[in-house]
Chains A and B, each alone.
Chain A
């Protein structure tokens, strides 16, 4: 029996209330809005820590707690409570969301201080925190769905925060629509689950998976994967993430790097009981993960916009996580481990990028950077730590979390294992290449910004959050890995310790050596290519691959020619059909009256008279018939 905790509701109620208050209070809240929002975010973090400590103190089987709030929807056998569940998996996310979230709130106080709408920005941030916490705390797929679309809304509002620029407004819309395609998957998964199990709660479905057929579970699994692809920017729904960088940089760090985009990983991990029994769905998860991790990495090599390069990297890193979730029980734990370490180092690098932009008059083009390191030493240092973490240099965070994924991939068995292993290894090499490129172009080399004002280091309010996050880039991997801490922690939820049958192909050490070798190759390639003076313009004569990567491997063009343009011409045709065929048929029937109508426009009442007459005739006909029949 699940124990009750009355605290859970505050995770959602506090930020939701604060967000509503800031939006309703309007300009009156300008002076204190950011303080309230940050305090609220910090409070949710505090509650998270308290809950975490309490959870740790309890014996393993009693760690999960729940709270029923109210009956939400109840019709026939379809009963859904608004109900929360905090277990070993969700607490990981709660701490990540509220912890990184609070740091980013603090950072934003300074970063957004010149923006007239800062209060509104903080209202959206709190809305996001509330929705994201609901996403990971909901005890059923339908509750999760509310958070799922809620974070989509917050993301839409924040990407379009500066929506007076049409391109930014378009980016926001694109993100929402791509997410909605994924949401179709989540909707359908819930429907299939209800039709199959008569239940939509995680625990209710988990109990019954044994009696369901593989087909049903595969269908649910594939639909959940579609949902994950939308939210986590995985192939083929990844094209929105690059454009989402239109949002203010703290948003990119929080939503489009550390938390929201990892929701797909959460969804699959949370649904482990389905994927474990649906091998085809699991295989698709692997394929999506592998394709995206390479896809993102390749795009990352060609982007000159620092935020877009980081976004491509996020896409690729989430590809790793998704791939890991496809690797079975132990994979879930490694996916979550990489998700947490990535949350730290990617957020710190995004905030670092924001710091650079702050000192560079919002310039995002790395070709216009160069040599910034000496002007912004702290930013450069923290960014460097994030860099070491992401490329996987020991003992930084990514070394532990990424290596475990590569190792598990190789050891998945057979050709599948080799293919996945090679993909992850290749990904690691490309990651090393594009991240080195980012670091060199930004912090080293010749100064290319072409104006007199020297870049300046950011204020402490921005640097402290970055510094704290880089502590995470340094230590989080070791802490989570040490003594299989996270693996044991998650054991009751996703059973990562379940026996793994396939024969081990490579040992841990072998994999580490291989990985470090390819990383070294990637780094040295980038160094040899980008050292020395660079031009402030992107080279025009480039290989086909670079050209393709600059255009996101033509995903947008594909979407445009496969969906958008056919859709537009379909709509055009439908508009004509509606007017000419459907309405035309009716009009030709009624044309006499209509033409008479134009003539008699001044005598409208004539129509009503004839209408009244018809009613009378109708009534008379009725009476007459009745009379004849009953006579």
Chain B
């Protein structure tokens, strides 16, 4: 078994062991889960050091026949893009557990169920980024919905059942479209090269234009819903408002990345011609997402809704970077996925602490927090600054790469996207002013600042945000070879500077 497989299975095994602990033993359950996920995080960092960053080939591969009748294989392996997303997932999980220690206490079911769901979800997240067999990917992709559904519906707040169902229906719809496309691809492969679900082989298929367009759309819509791209986004704010903060972190920080990851891995690699055909449309939707998401974020009164809409704006940037088909755009988009994961995690976790303390998620209910709970306020502020892409913090590097990479090919889109940075200043500074500044308003006088556990949980996230702003090289080194390969394989090369050197 490759290290990758072991890391992928570990959370699942832990979930099994967790089932053996008596339900009453709450603290033990939490501690064991935390330790298990911490171990997985360390193991995946270890894996990252063993990863050969100069290679654009799949590494840590594992290949076993699964359903031989249909040539379905349990085939795993990672390149740079998959690796950084797996790292993002495995690092965020223990942070989320530590940060939201009491999140599961008032759920419909016991804490034990909560953590089993979480561990199962972690295995599936690793699997979805590591799968190299289309069918296996589909299984992971759809199976992920189940734990998330229960996490929202069973432990969320407010209109959680409706939100959970909405999330499920949306995803289901996308999933079915993708399934149809998968079947289509499989049929074509059986006619051309012998039936297979192997991604590398499928990429060599020659498909006539019209068919390719339809197959592409099946995948793309599924991913656009997941990402989510305008106008497929309306499930996200509801889900984010209803889910617990920890679940929201995983939902927006990791699971939504499956959408943008899928666009790179499947849409572009399997259907380069169709990608080219649809690029103008997709870039348009991405630009709309950037601006629309930002405007909607400015108008939000609920802090979780606000973060959700900022994410829609950021996913617009990511999608724009991907389909700009330049190395800067592609690498920027990949880096953005990682950076957005951390800054959104910080925002959601801190927002969660604010909400728990105040008993309200309405922004205007807060006020003057900078003087009551300085550490919490400052953490929120830094996360917010990263979200508005302040240079020196992580998001800036990725956002600028996306913009510069887009500009060289689609200047108009980049110019409109750049206007988003003014809106970003508004959607961050308005809640900062309302919640952190101003006089200390009634109900906020006695809020407690972060405790030690919370400080320990948030500090690595903030450290990553600052470090990656100044020194993104380690992650870019992992991403660059794969990004270049994707762009080249799709038949593109970077536009050359107009005045050659």
A contact set with B: CB distance below 8 Å: 23, 26, 70-78, 82, 142, 145-146, 148-150, 153, 160, 163-166, 169-170, 172-173, 176-177, 180-181, 183-184, 187-188, 190-192, 194-199, 208, 211-212, 216, 570-572, 574-575, 578, 582-583, 586, 590, 593-594, 597-598, 601, 604, 607-608, 611, 614-615, 618, 621-623, 625-626, 629-630
Contact = CB atoms under 8 A, between A and B. Distances in A.
Interface in B370-400: 370-371, 374, 378, 385, 390-392, 397, 400
Interface in B396-427: 397, 400-401, 403-405, 407-408, 411, 414-415, 418-419, 421-422, 424-426
B161 A582 contact: no
Interface string B168-203: 111010011001001100110011000100000000
Contacts of A177: 422, 425-426, 429
A338 to B, nearest CB: 29
Contact of A173 (B162, B165, B429, B501): B429
A608 B146 contact: yes
Contact of A194 (B407, B418, B421, B472): B407
B454 interface: no
Given A76-B494, A208-B501, A571 B298 contact: yes
Nearest to A624: B183
A611 B148 CA distance: 14
Nearest to B407: A191
B327 interface: yes
B412 to A, nearest CB: 12
Interface stretch (B27-35, B79-87, B276-284, B432-440): B432-440
Nearest to A600: B161
A70 B470 CA distance: 10
A105 B497 CA distance: 46
Interface string B485-501: 00000000011111111
Contacts of B419: 184
B77 interface: no
Given A163-B437, A173-B430, A604-B161, A574 B153 contact: no
Contacts of A598: 161-162
Interface string B307-342: 000000000000000000011100110000000000
Contacts of B327: 75-76, 78
A198 B497 contact: yes
A188 B385 contact: no
Contacts of A208: 499, 501
Nearest to A614: B172
Nearest to A219: B411
Nearest to B238: A583
Contacts of A594: 162, 165-166
A113 B487 CA distance: 59
B476 interface: yes
A510 B186 CA distance: 88
A198 B484 CA distance: 18
B299 A73 contact: no
Q: Which of A71, A571, A572, A625 has the most CB of B within 10 A?
A: A571
Contacts of A571: 295-296, 298-299
Interface residues of B, number: 92
Contacts of A181: 422
11 contacts: A71-B473, A74-B480, A77-B494, A149-B390, A150-B392, A180-B424, A187-B418, A197-B497, A198-B499, A211-B499, A594-B165
A153 B295 contact: no
Contact of A575 (B146, B299, B371, B501): B299
Contacts of B261: none
Contacts of B405: 75, 78
A570 to B, nearest CB: 7
A184 B399 CA distance: 13
Contacts, number: 221
A583 B234 contact: yes
A375 to B, nearest CB: 34
A540 B410 CA distance: 55
B390 A75 contact: no
A268 B133 CA distance: 55
Contact of B296 (A72, A574, A593): A574
Given A622-B179, A626-B190, A75 B476 contact: yes
Contacts of A190: 400, 404
Contact of A196 (B172, B328, B430, B497): B497
Nearest to A145: B391
B70 interface: yes
Given A163-B370, A173-B430, A590-B166, 15 more contacts: A77-B494, A150-B392, A169-B437, A173-B433, A187-B403, A187-B418, A197-B498, A197-B501, A198-B496, A208-B499, A574-B292, A611-B172, A618-B176, A626-B186, A629-B190
Contacts of B480: 74-76
Given A76-B326, A188-B418, A630-B195, A146 B392 contact: yes
A188 B331 CA distance: 20
Contacts of B500: 198
A572 B142 CA distance: 36
B368 interface: yes
A81 to B, nearest CB: 11
B400 A187 contact: yes
B231 interface: yes
Nearest to B495: A195
B296 A578 contact: yes
B370 A574 contact: no
Contact of B165 (A148, A212, A597): A597
Contacts of B368: 164
B149 interface: yes
B169 A198 contact: no
A601 B162 CA distance: 9
Nearest to B291: A574
Contacts of B299: 571-572, 574-575
Closest 5 pairs (CB-CB, A-B): A198-B497, A76-B327, A163-B437, A169-B437, A191-B407
Contacts of B66: none
B46 interface: no
Contacts of B326: 76
Contacts of B425: 176-177, 180
